[in-house]
Structure 1
Amino acid sequence: MPLTLTVADEVRTLVPGFTHLAIEARGLVNGPSDAAGSALLDDAARRLAERLDGRAPHDDPHVTAWREAYTAFGAKPSRTRNSAEALARRALADGGLPRVNLLVDAYNAVSVAHLVPVGGEDADRIRGRMRLVRATGGEPFLTVAGGEEVVEHPEPGEVVWCDDEGVTCRRWNWRQGVRTRLTETSENALFLLESLAPMPTEALEAAGAELAESLEKLSPGARVRVGRPV
C-alpha cells in the first residue's frame, strides 16, 4: 500500500508556492558508496558549477525562495540552510560532497544538479502517515549529539516533516532524524523532492525522473513509483 503524505493548510498558507513530489521504491539494494556513486556526485557538482556560472548558491532564485520560506517560520537561513543550499556549498568547496551510501549518494546528486531539496526515508521505519506541519514544540526528534543519540524538540511553529512517532526532519528539510534515515540495509524507501515558486513543475518532474532512473540502475529489480507533484 502506498505511503500517505499530507501537507497542513497552515504550511500552504505560510508558503503558497510549495510543491512536492514523492517517489516510493521497493526492493532496493543499498550498500557502501562506490565508484559509480562518486561519479554521479562529481557530475552533479560539475552541472551545478555550470548552472551557477560563478554565482553563490544563495543567488539562485529557487534557493532564494527557500531562504524566504525559512525566514517566514522563524529560522535563520544563513545559519540553518535548506538541504539543497547546504549540499551545493559543499559541492563547490575543496572537500566536495560526502560519500554516504549508494542510495543517499544518488539522491544527493539529484539535489545538487537540480538545486532542489531531496530527502530519503526508510519506508519500513515510518510509522503511520507522513505529514508536513507546523510543530507544537512537544514532538520528539531523535538525532545525534556528541556521538550519542539524543531526543530534541522543534521550536513551536517550526515547519517539520513527521509521522505518528515523531519528527523525521526538522526545519522543513534542514536536518533528518536518525530513526528513518537510509542505511546500507534499507530495502524500501520514500524519497521527497520539494520545490517552491519560481521553480516550474516540469523542472521538479525532471529531477524526479532522474532520481527514479538512478534507483532503477542501482537496483534493477526494484519497483519504483513516481507520484505526481502536489
Structure 2
Amino acid sequence: MARFIALAKQRIALTAESDLPEIQAWRRAFGKMGLKPTQYRCASEALLRRLRKEGDLPSVHPLVDLCNAASAAFAIPIAAIDLDRIDGNLQVRPAIGTEIYETFAGDIEHPEVGEIIFADESDRAHARRWANRQSGHSAVMDRTTHALIVAEAMHDTAATDVARLIATLRTTISVLWPCATLTEVQVP
C-alpha cells in the first residue's frame, strides 16, 4: 500500500486532484446529474484530497485500505462490497427513490430519483452515485468472506487504465492473500 500512497502523492504534488483527467470526467458526470462537483466528490477525489491535507489515509480494513490506496494512486473510484450482505442479484440502475440506503453511521436514506445506484433484489442500495458512496450495510468488515471489488472510470483512457488497475489489484491481492480466489468480470 505504501507504493500506491507514494504514487498518489507524486500525482497530487504535480497537479491538484481536481485537475486530473480521471477526476474531471467524474465532475462532468456529477454535473450532468445536477450535483455540485465540489459538494459531491467522487471517491478517488475525496481520497486524494484527504491524502493531500492529512498526508495519509485512515485504516479501515486491510482489503478496504488496499482498495483506497489503489484508488488514490490511479485516481479511479473503487468500491469493496460484502457480497454476503447482498440479497439476490446486484443491479446498477437509476433509483426510483424508494430504495433503502444505510449510511456508515446507521442512518437510513432514500436515493434521489434517477440517481445511479447499486441495488439488490430487496431494493437495498449498496452504493450511490455509481460506486462513489458505499452503504454501511454491505461494507467490508472482519466478517467478510466474499467481496465484490468494483472500479469505475469515465475518462478518455478509462478502459486501459481500469484494466491496468485490475491487473495491479489482482497481483497485489494474490501476494497479500495467497489463498484468495479471484474471479474477474468485465462489464461494458
2:158 is aligned with 1:158:
no
2:92 is aligned with 1:132:
yes
Number of aligned residue pairs: give it: 187
* Equivalent residue, structure 1, for 2:172: 214
For residue 70 of structure 2, the aligned residue among 110, 114, 121 is 110
Alignment partners' CA distance in 2, 1:220 and 1:195: 28
Residues 1:200 and 1:172: Cα distance change in structure 2 (over 3 Å): closer
Alignment partners' CA distance in 2, 1:81 and 1:108: 15
Q: How far is the alpha carbon of 1:174 from its aligned partner?
A: 2.9
Report if aligned partners of 1:45, 1:92 keep a CA contact under 8 Å in 2: no
The two structures, once aligned, show a CA RMSD in angstroms of 1.5
Q: How far is the alpha carbon of 1:229 from its aligned partner?
A: 4.9
Unaligned runs of 5+ in 1: 1-39
For residue 167 of structure 1, the aligned residue among 119, 125, 130 is 125
Q: How far is the alpha carbon of 1:53 from its aligned partner?
A: 4.0
2:179 is aligned with 1:228:
no
Unaligned runs of 5+ in 2: none
2:17 corresponds to which letter in structure 1? P
Report if aligned partners of 2:61, 2:141 keep a CA contact under 8 Å in 1: yes
TM-score relative to the length of structure 2: 0.92
* Equivalent residue, structure 2, for 1:67: 27
For residue 179 of structure 1, the aligned residue among 137, 147, 150 is 137
Q: Deviations over 1:140-192 (max 9, x none)?
A: 111244xxx22110111211111112100112233211111100121111100
For residue 205 of structure 1, the aligned residue among 163, 168, 177 is 163
Q: Secondary structure at the match of 2:11?
A: helix
Alignment partners' CA distance in 1, 2:33 and 2:91: 17
Q: Secondary structure at the match of 1:93?
A: helix
1:72 corresponds to which letter in structure 2? K
* Equivalent residue, structure 2, for 1:49: 9
Q: How far is the alpha carbon of 1:50 from its aligned partner?
A: 2.1
The more displaced of 209-218 and 59-68 is 209-218
The structure showing larger relative contact order (alpha-carbon pairs under 8 Å, at least 6 residues apart) is 1
* Equivalent residue, structure 2, for 1:8: none
Question: Percent sequence identity over matched residues?
Answer: 32
Report if aligned partners of 1:205, 1:229 keep a CA contact under 8 Å in 2: no
Alignment partners' CA distance in 2, 1:125 and 1:89: 30
| Structure 1 segments of 4+ aligned residues over 3 angstroms from their partners | none
Report if aligned partners of 1:73, 1:159 keep a CA contact under 8 Å in 2: no
Alignment partners' CA distance in 2, 1:171 and 1:57: 19
* Equivalent residue, structure 2, for 1:12: none
Alignment partners' CA distance in 2, 1:203 and 1:144: 29
Report if aligned partners of 1:170, 1:176 keep a CA contact under 8 Å in 2: yes
